[in-house]
């Protein structure tokens, strides 16, 4: 007699993408309110030894996926909050499910920062030692188009989490990390920016994040919660969303190199930013929750570059030397020289970048530069990956994707380039 087989359902988003498997690993099972998992159980019956339990909102994003990996390596049981709309947008964490060594220590829960009852239920079931609030509507440009939604998720969503922790009587046992942002500084009052630099937000996103910052401070002072803010400056990786400027550059130029796109359209390429790698920054987030007393910290590299420089780096990693010509909205980037085999579809003299005024912000943030001296002095944290190394890593990943797409195209499969929803 043949052994019974397990049925799986497969849904394809794009023919060029690995099938997304809908199986039980992606859905959390109900947990008893009387006896939360891993606490009060017979340890002999546990399939693994739990050191701590963490809840991550925004777990399917760039930071959430790296933080989940980091915590799992430290022996944590990791619970992630994912929106129903993110059903198929789990490519950043799929590999964790497929690692047999994790043995069920990573679980996803459907939830939303706009749903108080949902957040309260999940927190009561998990009883986490640490909560990392990374979930947000984090795109500055989108916040001008959807300011009310941005405020509901980024500002009030943080309040909902903090109040749920307090309501459940967990304010003395659960530590809370709030992902804040350098966009708080906006129209900067001093350079570099520190924990004491005054805020002047310049977007609905930054305004919402400022409320989240201060409500975190308020709950720390009013209720004695271990709650702290990490003021994160720009941090990137190959997992960065495709609409963010660094990923837009590395992905766009890689596609141009392989003949999949004709030109990269940019906004203000003279903006100055302090870029770090997301891996370094999630390590700092964890360190902040391991201290005796909660404090707020700037997470930055202390080194600043322009968007123009990042474009030049990415092009160089693809074998292209660029020459910028013109000024203002008429400025273009022209290929001065092509070397190597990474850009077979690019010719000298080709225009690969143009300025599009539609990408200018209504209120521009011209310069951001963080001073991480406090983090270095008190926590011993220093970034390990430079911005230049990070750019090279991002280009390598996007160029590999572009090569695969170009190969499919040569066989008559002209498919969507993006794999993001």
Please, which residues bridge with residue 9 across strands? Answer: 22
pLDDT at 25 over 60: no
Task: Name the CATH superfamily housing domain 22-41+48-240+275-303+367-385.
Answer: NAD(P)-binding Rossmann-like Domain (3.40.50.720)
Catalytic residue among 177, 185, 205, 297: 205
Question: Is 410 in the active site?
Answer: no
For residue 192, whether the previous peptide bond is cis, meaning omega lies within 30 degrees of 0, is yes
Query: What digits encode the pLDDT tens for the residues 371-383?
Result: 999 999 999 999 9
| Encoded tokens for 101 | 């060594």
Q: Is 173 known to be catalytic?
A: no
- Between 123-127, 318-322, 414-418, the lowest mean confidence (pLDDT) is in 414-418
Give the pLDDT confidence score for residue 85 in this predicted structure. 59
Calculate the average pLDDT of the chain. Answer: 87
Q: Inform me whether the pLDDT recorded for 99 exceeds 90.
A: no
Give residue 97's pLDDT band: very low, low, confident or very high (50, 70, 90). low
Between the alpha carbon of residue 291 and those of residues 122, 228, 320, 333, the distances in Å are 26, 11, 47, 48
pLDDT tens for each residue of 33-74? 333 343 333 334 345 566 899 999 999 999 999 999 999 999
Burial 144-174 (b: 16+ CB within 10 A, else e): eeebeebbbbbbbbbbbbbbbbbeeebbeeb
Higher pLDDT: 58 or 94? It is: 58
The owner of tokens 């006896």 is: 35
Q: Which part of the chain has CATH 3.90.25.10?
A: 241-274+304-366+386-421
Residue 253 has pLDDT above 70, yes or no: yes
- Determine if the pTM surpasses 0.75: yes
Q: How many CB atoms lie within 10 A of CB 275?
A: 24
* pLDDT computed for residue 38 by the predictor: 38
Share of the chain above pLDDT 70, in %: 81
Q: Which residue in the block uniquely carries the two structure tokens 């188009």?
A: 145
Could you tell me if 193 and 185 are in contact, meaning their C-beta atoms sit under 8 angstroms apart?
Answer: yes
Task: Answer yes or no: is pLDDT of 297 > 80.
Answer: yes
Report the percentage of the chain scoring pLDDT > 90. 75
User: What are residue 107's DSSP bridge partners?
Assistant: 79
Confidence at residue 91, expressed as pLDDT on a 0 to 100 scale: 62
- At 95 the pLDDT is 65
Q: Is 78 left (phi over 0), alpha (psi -120 to 50) or beta?
A: beta
DSSP secondary structure, 295-357, as one string? --EEE--S--EEHHHHHHHHHHHTTEEEEEES-GGG-EEEEEEE-SSS-TT--TT-EEEEE-G
Stretch among 30-39, 151-160, 194-203, 402-411 having the lowest mean pLDDT: 30-39
Pairing mode, if any, of strands 305-306 and 297-299?
unpaired
Choose the catalytic residue: 60, 90, 174, 181: 181
Which region among 4-13, 299-308, 325-334 has the lowest average model confidence (pLDDT)? Answer: 4-13
| CA separation for the pair 204, 348 (Å, rounded) | 42
Catalytic residue among 69, 163, 183, 393: 183
pLDDT, position 420: 52
SS (H, E, C) 129-190: CEEEECCCCCCHHHHHHCHHHHHHHHHHHHHHHHHHHHHCCCCCCCEEEEEEEHHHCCCCCC
> Cα–Cα distance between 166 and 282 in angstroms, integer?
25
Instruction: Say if residues 10 and 17 touch (Cβ distance below 8 Å).
Output: no
Q: Which band of pLDDT confidence, cut at 50, 70 and 90, is reported for residue 418?
A: low
Which CATH superfamily, name and number, covers 241-274+304-366+386-421? UDP-galactose 4-epimerase, domain 1 (3.90.25.10)
Which residues of the chain are in CATH 3.40.50.720 domains? Answer: 22-41+48-240+275-303+367-385
- In the block, residue with structure tokens 């693994």: 48
Is 183 marked active-site? yes
Side-chain-side CA neighbours of residue 319 (13 Å): 16
Band of residue 89 on the pLDDT scale cut at 50, 70, 90: low
Lowest mean pLDDT among 19-28, 67-76, 345-354: 19-28
């Amino acid at each position: 007699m043949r052994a019974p087989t397990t049925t799986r359902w497969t849904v394809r988003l794009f023919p060029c993408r690995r099938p997304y498997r809908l199986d039980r690993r992606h859905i959390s099972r109900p947990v008893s309110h009387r006896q939360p998992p891993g606490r009060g159980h017979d340890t002999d019956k546990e399939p693994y030894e739990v050191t701590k339990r963490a809840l991550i909102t925004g777990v399917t994003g760039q930071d959430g996926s790296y933080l989940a990996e980091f915590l799992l390596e430290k022996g944590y049981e990791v619970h992630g909050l994912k929106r129903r709309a993110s059903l198929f947008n789990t490519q950043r964490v799929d590999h964790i499910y497929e690692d047999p060594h994790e043995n069920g220590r990573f679980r996803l829960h459907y939830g939303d920062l706009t749903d108080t009852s949902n957040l309260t239920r999940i927190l009561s079931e998990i009883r986490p030692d640490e909560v990392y609030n990374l979930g947000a509507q984090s795109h500055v440009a989108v916040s001008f188009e959807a300011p009310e939604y941005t405020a509901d998720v980024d500002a009030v969503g943080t309040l909902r989490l903090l109040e749920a922790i307090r309501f459940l009587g967990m304010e003395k046992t659960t530590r809370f990390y709030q992902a804040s942002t350098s966009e708080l500084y906006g129209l900067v009052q001093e350079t570099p920016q520190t924990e004491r630099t005054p805020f002047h937000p310049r977007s609905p996103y930054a305004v919402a994040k400022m409320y989240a910052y201060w409500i975190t401070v308020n709950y720390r002072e009013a209720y004695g919660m271990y709650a702290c803010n990490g003021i994160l400056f720009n941090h990137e990786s190959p997992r960065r969303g495709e609409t963010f400027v660094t990923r837009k550059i590395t992905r766009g130029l890689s596609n141009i190199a392989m003949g999949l796109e004709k030109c990269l359209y940019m906004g203000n390429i003279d903006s100055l930013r302090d870029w770090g790698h997301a891996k370094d920054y999630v390590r700092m987030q964890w360190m902040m929750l391991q201290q005796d007393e909660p404090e707020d910290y700037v997470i930055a590299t202390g080194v600043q570059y322009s968007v123009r420089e990042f474009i030049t780096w990415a092009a160089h990693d693809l074998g292209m030397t660029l020459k910028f010509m013109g000024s203002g909205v008429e400025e273009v980037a022209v290929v001065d020289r092509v070397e190597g085999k990474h850009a077979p579809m690019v010719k000298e003299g080709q225009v690969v970048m143009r300025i599009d005024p539609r990408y200018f912000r209504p209120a521009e943030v011209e310069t951001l530069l963080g001073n991480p001296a406090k983090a270095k002095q008190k926590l011993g944290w220093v970034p390990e990956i430079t911005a230049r190394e990070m750019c090279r890593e991002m280009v390598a990943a996007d160029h590999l994707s572009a090569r695969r797409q170009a190969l499919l195209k040569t066989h008559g499969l002209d498919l969507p380039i993006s794999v993001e929803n």
